[in-house]
């Protein structure tokens, strides 16, 4: 089950060669993930949230260029779910052309009374909500 997030490349996202700067691919992947959270009726960065989701791993393989005004989509799915982490898998496509593929892994944490954070088990309702948003 994958969600599809559609987007157009903006001029400010390109480099001097007129192609998307590599760092923006991670932004596109994160935007697609946040769209899934919203579809599930949740916000990853909601005011007063109990859980936080720092990234512990990010990877991207680049296959083809994106240029200003290109329309593309990010296909996103939950690749792996453990008790405390979600690994999101993303495939960026322009029509039938593979642009890039990557993964981003987030860990569920709670802030402790001393201000530190500690990994905690992901609540079942969060996983079920995200899975329903992908269906």
Q: Using one digit for the tens of pLDDT, what is the confidence trace for 21-46?
A: 999 999 999 999 999 999 999 988 77
Structure token digits, residue 8: 């157009």
Residue-range definition of the domain harbouring residue 24: 3-134
The reported pLDDT for the residue numbered 47 is 72
The reported pLDDT for the residue numbered 103 is 98
pLDDT greater than 90 at residue 53: yes
Phi, psi dihedrals of residue 133, rounded to the nearest 5°: -65, -25
State the burial class of residue 39 (Cβ atoms within 10 Å of its Cβ: 0-12, 13-18, 19+). middle
pTM above 0.95, yes or no: no
Note whether 83 and 13 are within 8 A (CB).
no
For position 41, which CATH number holds?
3.10.129.10
User: In a 3-state reduction of DSSP, which class is residue 1?
Assistant: coil
For the chain, the domain total comes to 1
């Amino acid at each position: 089950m994958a969600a599809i997030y559609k987007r157009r490349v903006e001029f400010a996202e390109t480099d001097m060669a007129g192609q998307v700067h590599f760092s923006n691919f991670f932004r596109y992947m994160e935007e697609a993930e946040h769209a899934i959270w919203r579809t599930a009726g949740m916000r990853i960065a909601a005011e007063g949230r109990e859980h936080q989701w720092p990234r512990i791993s990010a990877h991207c393989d680049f296959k083809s260029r994106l240029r200003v005004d290109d329309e593309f989509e990010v296909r996103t799915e939950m690749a792996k779910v453990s008790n405390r982490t979600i690994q999101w898998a993303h495939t960026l496509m322009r029509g039938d052309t593979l642009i890039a593929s990557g993964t981003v892994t987030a860990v569920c944490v709670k802030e402790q009374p001393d201000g530190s954070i500690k990994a905690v088990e992901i609540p079942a309702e969060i996983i079920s909500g995200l899975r329903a948003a992908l269906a």
